[in-house]
Amino acid sequence: MVARLVEITATGGSELAEALARPELEPYVSLRDRDLAGRGDGLFVAEGEVVVRVLASPRQTQFRVRSLLVEQRRVEALRDAIDALPANVPVYVVAQPVMDAVVGFAIHRGILALGERGKPLAPESLLSGGGLAIGLVGLTNHDNVGSVFRSAAAFGARGVLLDAATCDPLYRKSIRVSVGGALVVPFARCASGEAMLDTVAAAGWEALALTARGDETLDAVVSAATSARGRVLLLGTEGDGLPPLILARARCVRIDMTPTLDSLNVAVASGIALYEATKPRRSRD
């Protein structure tokens, strides 16, 4: 079963207008404006060869590919991934001017995929066993969220919990920065940071709040034995960090560092924290 290629030819003028009006391309039209407004249609867009390959991989089972939009010179580079797609997944092949006109800006990667979100996961499902998870509270920067997911994938985090204020991991830029990590690390949305802590406590997990003012160092805490089934590393916003209500309910830990600076960028901090938190597991393995 091989995905079907649909060539859409246009050189400009009326042909280009007709291509833009095709209903099958409508989800891709004015991509940047849709990003800013939020899609709200149960779909998301993956951009670039590496990310699209992650989405199309049979090892990725959470999301389904609805269609691909590929610049004609990129087809052969993606041929193996295209051939592995189900036959009912169309691959729209267009010239670069058509792609630029459709998405609304010059897109140099030349490969886009439309994915279906499917049913959201319940927060409790991410904590059904043991291990290590991430909790994001108030992160509104898409680059930072993407970087956290990239680190979470690299160090084998069980999943990521998000409060209501944290931005969408399936925003196109977040997926791209995560290099597909947002497509393979499960995530679930909580109503608030407090609701996230309620879920963590109900699952018998321990909440570790990462803060420059932590009383304990993270490496010392994760090296010590615990009766908790698992641990959640809580990360807050740049500047303000985690809210006082969260810090009051969690075990506050810090990354041991010189006093030259008082904090790290949350993307950098998440990578270091995940490395430290998974070190005991790697030692056992």
In this predicted model, what pLDDT tens digit does every residue of 172-210 receive, in sequence order? 999 999 999 999 999 999 999 999 999 999 999 999 999
256 and 151 share one domain:
yes
Which of 7-16, 119-128, 221-230, 233-242 has the largest mean confidence? 119-128
**Same structural domain for residues 109 and 130?**
no
CATH number, domain containing residue 179: 3.40.1280.10
Residue at which a domain ends, from 74, 95, 116 = 116
The pTM of the whole model exceeds 0.75: yes
> Confidence class of residue 7 from pLDDT cuts 50, 70 and 90?
confident
SS3 129: coil
Residue predicted with more confidence, 262 or 234: 234
Per-residue confidence (pLDDT) for residue 135, from 0 to 100: 98
Domain range for 106:
4-116
pLDDT at residue 58 is higher than 90: no
28-43 burial, b at 16+ Cβ within 10 Å, e below that, comes to beebeebbeeebeeeb
Whether 95 and 131 share a structural domain: no
| pLDDT for residue 11 is more than 90 | no
Q: Distance between alpha carbon 11 and the CA centroid of its chain, in Å?
A: 36
Confirm if 29 and 103 have CB atoms less than 8 A apart. Answer: yes
User: CB count, 10 Å around CB of 144?
Assistant: 24
Kindly report the CATH number assigned to the domain that includes residue 93.
3.30.1330.30
The structure tokens listed for 237 are 């916003």
Contact 170, 54 (CB under 8 A): no
> Bigger pLDDT: 239 or 173?
173
Last residue of a domain, one of 84, 116, 148: 116
